[in-house]
Structures are given as C-alpha cells and as structure tokens.
Structure 1
Amino acid sequence: MEDIEIFQRMGLALAIGAAVGVERHWREKDEEEGSRTAGIRTFTLIGLLGGVAGLLEHFLARPGGIPGIVVVGFLVTLTAVFAVFQLREAIADENYSATSVVVAMLTFALASAAVLSSMTVASAGGVVLVAVLASREFLHASMRKLRWSELRSAVILLALSFVVLPIVPSEPVGPFGGVSPSKSLIMVIVLAAISFCGYIAVRLLGSARGEIVAGAIGGVISSTAATISNARRSASEDLTRPLAAGAISAGAVSMVRTSFLVIVLARPLASELLPVLFSAAAAMLVYSVLLARQSSAKHQEVLPKNPFDLDEVVKMAVVLVGVGFLARAASETFGDAGLFIASALSGLADVDAATIAVAGLLPTLSVQTASLAIAIAVLSNTLAKAVYASIFGTMAFGAHVWKASILAIAAAALCFGMLGSWL
C-alpha cells in the first residue's frame, strides 16, 4: 500500500466518522457541553481510530497469524469504554437507548474497512448509516402508522422473494418450452408487488393521484398484471374511477416501455413504430389524468383494506402463465409462418416477449413485417387488457378501460395514416 493510497483511505475513515458525528452532534445540539457522550469530535476520532486500527492490522499481519486480531481488539475495547459512558448518560437523562453504542461500533468498523477493504463499500456504508440515523423521526412516525395487514403483506412479499424463490427450480416443465416454476413464482411476486405499491401510493397520495402513480409503476413491471390487479380490486372497493385511471396509466407506460425496447433492440423499426406508440400512449395518459381529476373532485377517499390478497394474486398469475404457454405452443406449431399469430397470442399476456423475439429475427425479416408483428402484439395486448378489465372488474371499470383503449387505437391508426401519406 503506497503513501498516497494510505492518505486516501485514512481520509475516507475520517470522513465517515465526521459525517456520523455531524448527525449525532446535531441531534443533541441543545445539550450543554460535557453532558453528551459523543459529538462531532468524538465520532471523528472514532473514525480515525478505526483507520489507525486498520493500518496496524495491515502492517502487523504475519503469515500464519490470526487475521483481524488487531481490529477486533480495538473494537472490543472501544465498545466497552463507550458503553460505560453511554450508560452514565442514560442514567442521568433517564433515557435508555443502545443506538449510540451501535453507531460507534459501526463507525469504527466502516473506518477500518475503508483502510483494509473496498473504499466504495465503506463509503456507501457510511452514507447508509447517516441516512438511517437522520431518518429517525420518519421511521418512528411510519411505525406508529403501520397496520398489521401492511406488515403481514410485506413479510409475505419478502419471504416469497428471498426465501421461497431461491429454492424453487427454474427448469421448465412440460412441452413447448414448458412452464418454469421460478418464473411462475416471479409472476406471483410481481403481481403482489404491484398491489402493495398501489396500496402504499394510495396511502401517501390519496386514491386519485396514488392510483396513477401505482399504475405507472405497474406499467414498468407488467401493465397486464396491473390491469387485472386493479380490476379485481374494483369489484370489492369503491375506487372504480381511480383504479381505472391507474390501469390506463399502466397501459400508457407499457407503450413507452415497448418504445424503449424497440430503440435498444430493434433500432431499424424506430421510425415505423415510435410515432404510433407515443401517440397511443399520449391518448391513454390524457384519458387517465382527466379521469383521475374527475375522481378527486367527486370521490371520497377510501383506503383499501388489504395490500394484496395472496389467493387472488396466485389465480391471476396462473391465468397469465397459462396464456404465455399457449402463445409459445402456437409459435412452435405454426413456425415462422405463424409469426403474426404468435405475436397476437403473446400479446394476450405481455408485449415484451413478442418484441424481443421479433428483434432477434430482425436480420431475416423485412422492416415492414417486423413492425407489423410488434404492432399486432401491442394491439392484442391493449384489447386483451380491456377484456380482462371487463371480466375481472366492475362494468364501470371495464367501460373506462375500453374507452381509453379505443381512443389509443384510434390515435395510433391516425398517426399511422399520416406517416403513410408523408412517406
């Protein structure tokens, strides 16, 4: 380790301690001198101590020795001394908290890591530490407002994502490419995440604006899933207009997402497809915003009772996975000649699969054929979502989605006609 690198690493160790010290000192800025255990000076020195411990560890390390003995020894000593002073302060103030002790330990550990390990990881850890400390009021207020249904849903979502998903096999089962258990579970997680994000957005922003934001998030992930999720909720909640606005905004974002895929994967098709897709997206977005404004003027806020119903989420995932399987079966059965049929069937569940597949075939397809295949998938997906809205949602919900879909198709057709006349 050269001198310049040592100075850089020690500087980062000091910076981590100083950043934590600023937050800790500001938190107790009204306290008299000598009444606080640690402020900006103390935590800066803790950062320096961690850096020095890391340097000693580096230079005193010997082959066959016990790695980390120096750093651990310093950490144990610092923790013991700091805990004694913190206990005396807690007794005097009658305010018991282990936060400052843990913060001192983390500051020392991150400062040592800045010298011994990755500076990027150490600096990121310091930023996260300060952010968590500065968010105390927000976190405490959030916990006071947290409901059991929200906590339970979050735990289920985390368990599905990080406990169940890693152990589910990913190899497809069955003919025509089969069905992958892990991808099916991912669809369940996506649907549950969309519902949960929608619930949080409604709580923070109200039903009208919240559903538009939630729909936009859902459109980035899966506009079909977002539409079905909102349709299910509309059948049991007095939120028809906001939920319809959210589903329509998801459709608009989905078309923008398809445009992005075309730019990245199939640039030769951009001049053919982008104007059509953007015009359709704009029509849906305008309808969504106008519907949300009407809703906010007439609708009384109603909070959903449950962030998501796992049984319903599983049923919706089965529907989408089944439709995707049928699309693959049709594609393999009809071969290249069935490209348009396969695109239409793929659109019943999602547009991305058709877009990616067509982009992969682009060297062997004409621009017109490839553009038409993607356009068919988008049209099929737009109409399919309107059908799903009518099947799973209320009559009013389905009517709004149908109106927006027809408006988007008309705008796309008009744009296509204008492009044809110009070309």
Structure 2
Amino acid sequence: MDEIDLLTRLAVALAIGLLVGLERGWRLRDAPEGQRAAGLRTFAITGLLGGTAGLLTHSLDNLLFLGVAFLAFTGAFTAFHWLESREEGRHSVTGVISGLLVFLLGAYATLGELRVAVAVAVAATLLLALRDPLHDWLRRLQWVEIRAVLILATMSFLALPVLPNHTIDPWGVLNPAEIWFLAIMIAAISFGGYVAVRLLGQKRGLMVAAMAGGLASSTATTLTLSRLAQRQPGAVPLLAAGVLIAGAVMGLRVVLVTGLLNRAMVVPLAVPAVAALLVLVLAAGLMLLRDGKAVSAQTDSPSLSLSNPLELATALKLALFIAVVLVGAELLRRFVGDAGLLLGAAVSGIADVDAITIAMARMGQQQPDLAQLAAGSILLAVGVNTTAKAVMAGSVGGIRLGLYVGGPSLLAILAGAAAYLVV
C-alpha cells in the first residue's frame, strides 16, 4: 500500500464518519452544546479512528489488534451513550449501533473494498434519515399485509430450493422454480405500487394515486376511476387524465419486467413505449391544464380498491396464469406459426400483460432470432390491453369518459406501432 493509496483510504474512512455524523448531528442540532454524546465531529473522528486501527492492523499483520481496538472503542462509546441516555431518559440504541458501524466501516475502508464500505455507509445513513417515514409506514401497515409478506417469504425460501429447476413438460417451457420466481418478481413490483397507493394515494391527490395504481394494477385503477366518473360527471377530464397516466406507467412497467429478464429486448420495446407514453402524458397534461384546475377542488381523491399482490392465493394464481401462457405461446408458435403467436398475445392482453411479457422475454432470450417477433407480441398485448381499458372506461364511466380515454389511447397505440416499425 503506497502513500497515495493510504491517504485515499483514510480520507474515505473520514468521509464515512462525516456522512453518518451529518445525519446524527442534524437530528441532535437543537441539543445544548456539550450534551450530545455523538454528533458530526464525533462520528467523523470515529471513522478516522477505525481507519487508523485498520492501517495499524495491516502494518502489524495481526487481526487481533483490530479486535482489541474495536472492543475498547465499544466500551468507551457505549459508556458515554449510557450516561447521555440516563440523563435524558431516552432508550434508543440506534446511536450506539451507528457509532460501532462507522468504526468498522472506517477499518474496512483501509483493509477491504472502498466501494463496499461507501455503499454500506450510504445505506446506513439513508435508513437513519428515513426514521420518521419508516415509523409512519409501520403505523399504517395492517397485520394482514405483514402476514402476507411473511407467508410468501417463507414459501419462497422453502419452496424454491425444493421445486424442480428444470423443465417438466414435453415442450421444454415449464420450469417450476423459474415460474415461481417470476411470479414473486411480478408480485413484488405490484406490491411496490400497492404500498405507494396505501401511503400516498389519498394524501397526495388523484394523479399520484393514478401513477401508483398503474404500477400496482392499471386495470383496477381504470375501474376505480371509471366508477368515480359515474358519481362525479363534472370531473371526467381529470379522471380521464388519471386513467391515461396509469396506462403510461403500465407501459414503463412492461419495459422494466422485460429488462429484468432480457436486456437485449429493452430497446425494441422502450422506443415504442416512450412514443406511446409521450402521447398519453401530453394528452393527460392538456386535460389537466384545460379542465383540471376547475374540477380538482371538487373531486374526491380516489380510494383505489387493490388486492394485496403478495397474498399467497394471488401469487399462486399468477404463477398458474404464467404457466398457461408459456405453454399456450409455445404451442401456438409450433403448430400455427407467427400469426398464432400474435393471436395468443392479443387474447392474453385482454386480461393481463405480465404473463405474456414474461413468456415473450424468455422466448427472445432462448431464441434470439425470435426476439423481434417477441417484442412485437408484447406490444400487441399492451395495445389490446390499452384498448380494453378504454372500452371499460366507456362502459363503466360513460361515453364521455370513454371518448376522453379512447382518443388518446388510439393515438398512443398508433405512435407506438409507428415507432416499432421504424426501429
């Protein structure tokens, strides 16, 4: 380790302490001078102390020295924190854990990978800074949601190692372990939208609810907003904008899922998706600018009716649907040809786009010569799904809502198709 490398590693150790100390010091900034056991300077020195201990350990070539130094620091730091807690009547161990972590990260910065040490420090600081939002989130969670996550996590860790990790069907498409993993992945993405709706939907307004709902389920969001249009016909432009925003987010979700499975298909999908998204967002923006301000104050924030995607029954249904679509797509391709595959994608898109997206992404990965056809099948399913939601909006929310949603949706489909042909 040369002198430049040594100083760089010590600087990183100091920076780690400053980063965590900035958050800790800001949170305790109103405490009287001299009554804070650990603030910005203390954590900065702790990081530097850990880095110095790491360098001495490297020089002595004896890890025992680092262990002794860590134990000595732990005793001193814990004692000061205990005195502070006793005087102020607080019983939080977060400050102690943070100090110990900074010391260890400072030592690791001089002994191990700098990027890993910095990444852990950033993650720890983020957790510390998000204390209030995380506590608020815990207060809002219901036991049924926590139970669903625990059950699915248990089933995943127990089931995945046991499920066969090879194809079990004559056509070579059904891999039980892979299908279950894909179902969990889709459920996790949907759960992100579900949580966003729970936490932000009614508080932040209709557009935020529509965006979060589009991540969880654009179909359920469309149905909810269409029903709201029945009760508030004057808010049709605003509600139509929400439906269009949810559809735009659904397109981004399709690109995300495809990218997670087959990065080579991202560009053929992303260009048409962005073209369609621009049309939908532009149309929604025009509706909001023209009519949104006049009706937003009188429009109730929607309470989106979404089922928890991490419920075990929901995940099992999704896995079954993925399996059916995988087999159906392969059979159509083999016995009917490309036209049959496109027909299957269109039929699947009426109800859902996740399963056909997964099937086509896998097909494009396993058979690269079919990647363009697979991308076209996904876009066709998205187009059919968008059309189905426009029909739903018109049949549930009335002809006016149907026109507000249907016109931009048709233009978005045409824009996406044109972009696909160009690419």
Residue 56 of structure 2 corresponds to: 56
- AA of the residue aligned to 2:327: F
Residue 165 of structure 2 aligns to a residue whose secondary structure is coil
CA displacement, residues 358-394 of structure 1 (integer Å, 9 cap, x when unaligned) = 799887x9xxxx9788556533553367669999x99
Residue 106 of structure 2 corresponds to: 111
- AA of the residue aligned to 1:175: P
Residue 378 of structure 1 corresponds to: 379
Residue 17 of structure 1 corresponds to: 17
Residue 350 of structure 1 aligns to a residue whose secondary structure is helix
The worse-fitting range, judged by mean Cα deviation, of 19-28 and 407-416 is: 407-416
CA displacement, residues 382-422 of structure 1 (integer Å, 9 cap, x when unaligned) = 3367669999x9962899799957864566559979999xx
Shift of 1:144: 2.9
Computing the radius of gyration from Cα coordinates, the structure with the larger value is 1
User: Using the alignment, how far apart are the partners of 1:312 and 1:30 within structure 2?
Assistant: 49
Residue 341 of structure 1 corresponds to: 340
User: Using the alignment, how far apart are the partners of 1:362 and 1:192 within structure 2?
Assistant: 27
- Indicate conservation of the 8 Å contact 2:53/2:66, yes or no: yes
Shift of 1:20: 2.4
1:189 aligns with 2:184: yes
- Indicate conservation of the 8 Å contact 2:25/2:40, yes or no: yes
Unaligned runs of 5+ in 2: 231-238, 349-354
Residue 331 of structure 2 corresponds to: 329
The worse-fitting range, judged by mean Cα deviation, of 138-147 and 96-105 is: 138-147
Shift of 1:157: 5.0
- AA of the residue aligned to 1:307: N
Shift in CA distance, 238/173, structure 1 to aligned 2, threshold 3 Å: farther
* Aligned-residue RMSD, C-alpha: 4.7
- Indicate conservation of the 8 Å contact 1:227/1:247, yes or no: yes
1:5 aligns with 2:5: yes
Shift in CA distance, 69/45, structure 1 to aligned 2, threshold 3 Å: same
User: Using the alignment, how far apart are the partners of 1:266 and 1:195 within structure 2?
Assistant: 20
TM-score, length-scaled by structure 1: 0.73
- AA of the residue aligned to 2:200: L
Note the 1:278-297 alignment, pairs <5 A: 280-282=276-278, 284-285=280-281
Residue 221 of structure 1 corresponds to: none
- Indicate conservation of the 8 Å contact 1:228/1:385, yes or no: no
Residue 200 of structure 2 corresponds to: 204
User: Using the alignment, how far apart are the partners of 2:89 and 2:328 within structure 1?
Assistant: 67
Shift in CA distance, 204/14, structure 1 to aligned 2, threshold 3 Å: same
- Indicate conservation of the 8 Å contact 1:215/1:249, yes or no: no
- AA of the residue aligned to 1:50: G
The worse-fitting range, judged by mean Cα deviation, of 288-297 and 109-118 is: 288-297
Residue 73 of structure 2 corresponds to: 78
Shift in CA distance, 137/411, structure 1 to aligned 2, threshold 3 Å: closer
User: Using the alignment, how far apart are the partners of 1:382 and 1:317 within structure 2?
Assistant: 23
Residue 320 of structure 2 corresponds to: 318
Note the 1:27-46 alignment, pairs <5 A: 27-46=27-46
Residue correspondences, number:
394
- Indicate conservation of the 8 Å contact 2:220/2:306, yes or no: no
TM-score, length-scaled by structure 2: 0.73
CA displacement, residues 297-337 of structure 1 (integer Å, 9 cap, x when unaligned) = 54453254753343234224322320221110221234xxx
- Indicate conservation of the 8 Å contact 1:176/1:328, yes or no: yes
CA displacement, residues 16-46 of structure 1 (integer Å, 9 cap, x when unaligned) = 2223233333332333333222233322222
Shift of 1:208: 3.0
The worse-fitting range, judged by mean Cα deviation, of 107-116 and 318-327 is: 318-327
User: Using the alignment, how far apart are the partners of 1:401 and 1:319 within structure 2?
Assistant: 29
User: Using the alignment, how far apart are the partners of 1:21 and 1:266 within structure 2?
Assistant: 41
- Indicate conservation of the 8 Å contact 2:245/2:280, yes or no: no
- Indicate conservation of the 8 Å contact 2:53/2:69, yes or no: yes
The worse-fitting range, judged by mean Cα deviation, of 68-77 and 347-356 is: 347-356
Residue 90 of structure 2 aligns to a residue whose secondary structure is coil
User: Which of 99, 122, 126 is the aligned partner of 2:121?
Assistant: 126
- AA of the residue aligned to 1:212: A
Shift in CA distance, 183/250, structure 1 to aligned 2, threshold 3 Å: farther
The worse-fitting range, judged by mean Cα deviation, of 181-190 and 238-247 is: 238-247
Identical positions, percent: 27
Shift in CA distance, 87/394, structure 1 to aligned 2, threshold 3 Å: farther
Shift of 1:287: 6.7
- Indicate conservation of the 8 Å contact 2:194/2:306, yes or no: no
Shift in CA distance, 303/215, structure 1 to aligned 2, threshold 3 Å: closer
- Indicate conservation of the 8 Å contact 1:234/1:394, yes or no: no
User: Which of 130, 134, 140 is the aligned partner of 1:139?
Assistant: 134
Residue 172 of structure 2 aligns to a residue whose secondary structure is coil
Shift in CA distance, 319/262, structure 1 to aligned 2, threshold 3 Å: closer
User: Using the alignment, how far apart are the partners of 2:375 and 2:55 within structure 1?
Assistant: 59
